[in-house]
Amino acid sequence: MSKKYSIAVIPGDGTGPEVVNEGIKVLEAVAKKFEFTIDFTNYDLGGERYKATGEIFPDTAAEGLTTADAIYLGAIGHPDVKPGILEKGLLLKLRFDFDQYINLRPVKLYEGVETPLKNKSPDDIDFVVVRENTEGLYAGAGGCLKRGTPDEVAIQSSINTRKGVERCIRFAFEYCRSRNKAKKLTLCGKTNVLTYAFDLWERTFYEVGEEYPDIQTDYAHVDAICMWMVKNPEWFDVIVTDNMFGDIITDLAAMIQGGMGIAAGGNINPEGVSMFEPIGGSAPKYTGKQIINPIAAISAAQIMLATIGENKASKAVEKAVIKVLRDDLDDIAAGKMGYTTSEVGDLVAEYIIAN
Ligand code: IPM
Ligand code: MN
């Protein structure tokens, strides 16, 4: 009997639904080719739902997601909803509730995609950032006193637990080993200033590292890593870091791999329900215009396939993405694909079926 997966889809806001459609198109093509089935269940969550009903993440939706094999998310963010409400109430809530403690961000420059870095080619830009995804400054620890007065105090603390740090670092070592490239893991921190948090990170990193003699360990401060990522991206294989630094360096990384139309990521709980998303946001002003590049959403689906164990299917999607980026699309950097969003999905799906 062929395998059957159930995928919960949250198309979300703005251009989320149109890029997710292309990801689903590609998933359907690849499932047919490799003889497994995927049931998609749609969850109407996001800014429109919140505006209409006041609901952000109702219990009924939470129950449905619990039984899914994975969650596929378009984008969250609505121009009429105050920043923070949907991010905290939906995106971060999903990450926390499902204990998706890894944010996995492959950074790969594909042929035919322009990078703003001079003299760098696909050989130079191929690394993965493993970002801790449930702790740090994102944990929501803190508070304020006397808000709005001259005596106002605001505190936002970074929470780092031995358990949380260790499981993230361990995942990064395992990932680096299975990736089997330079076998080098770089810890990105700030040990010279954040002497409590990154002391814990650093000690844990070298302790766990002893179990991985085949992996070379390296360390860089977060500010320096921003510099090296631009100057010598070829130095990196896998980078592991905390939640906030990971958030910042992965936007920089997205730009050197060709921008938000390309960048995808996974929010992973290796023992639970993981969630996959293009990282570009909802781009509300382009909604319905069919001009957004769906490759990021398609690559998010590709990471999903690898995570659920459909490795051949995942490789086939990547091969098709590589082909379409190299041979078909025009100048992505200038925002000109030469095709509509839906046509790009067709190109990828057709290539998968034909090869
Ligand atoms: C990301 C995003 C989110 C984050 C926002 C939307 C809350 O920037 O996935 O990187 O900060 O984690
Ligand atoms: Mn971010």
Segment 243-268, tens digit of pLDDT: 999 999 999 999 999 999 999 999 99
Question: What was the pLDDT predicted at 171?
Answer: 98
Nearest to 5 by CA among 268, 273, 352: 273
26 in helix, strand or coil?
Answer: helix
CATH 3.40.718.10 domain residues, the chain: 1-115+257-355
Within the chain, all domains assigned CATH 3.40.50 are found at: 136-255
Check if 185 has its Cβ closer than 6 Å to any atom of ligand 1: no
Q: How far is the CA of 315 from the centre of ligand 2 (A)?
A: 26
247 C-beta closer than 6 A to ligand 1: yes
CA-nearest residue for atom 1, ligand 1, is: 247
Report the Cα 281 to chain-centroid distance in Å: 11
In the reported structure, the alpha carbon of residue 3 is separated from the centroid of ligand 2 by a whole-number distance in angstroms of 34
Mean pLDDT to the nearest integer, 122-143: 98
Question: How many Å apart are CA 109 and CA 258, to the nearest integer?
Answer: 7
Nearest CA owner, ligand 1 atom 7: 87
Average pLDDT on 189-202 reads 98
| pLDDT at 1 exceeding the cut of 70 | no
Please state which CATH class domain 136-255 belongs to: alpha beta
Q: Phi-psi region for residue 180, left (φ > 0), alpha (ψ -120 to 50) or beta? A: left
Q: Does the pLDDT of residue 327 top 80, yes or no?
A: yes
* Short-list 257, 274, 318, 289, CA closest to 19: 289
Q: Average pLDDT for residues 233-252, to the nearest whole number?
A: 98
Facing residues of 107 across strands? 127
CB-ligand 1 contact for 39 (6 Å cutoff): no
Q: Whose CA is nearest to atom 4 of ligand 1?
A: 247
Check whether 126 has a pLDDT greater than 70.
yes
Average pLDDT on 49-75 reads 95
Whole-number percent of the chain with pLDDT over 70: 100
Mean pLDDT of 169-195: 98
* CATH domain 1-115+257-355 topology: Isopropylmalate Dehydrogenase (3.40.718)
Determine the average pLDDT of the residues in 262-277. 98
Question: In whole angstroms, how large is the CA radius of gyration of the chain?
Answer: 20
162-179 vs 197-209: helix axis angle to the nearest 10? 40
Mutational pocket test of ligand 1: of 10, 13, 82, 92, the residue with most ligand atoms within 8 Å of the beta carbon: 92
Look at residue 334 and tell me whether its pLDDT is greater than 80.
no
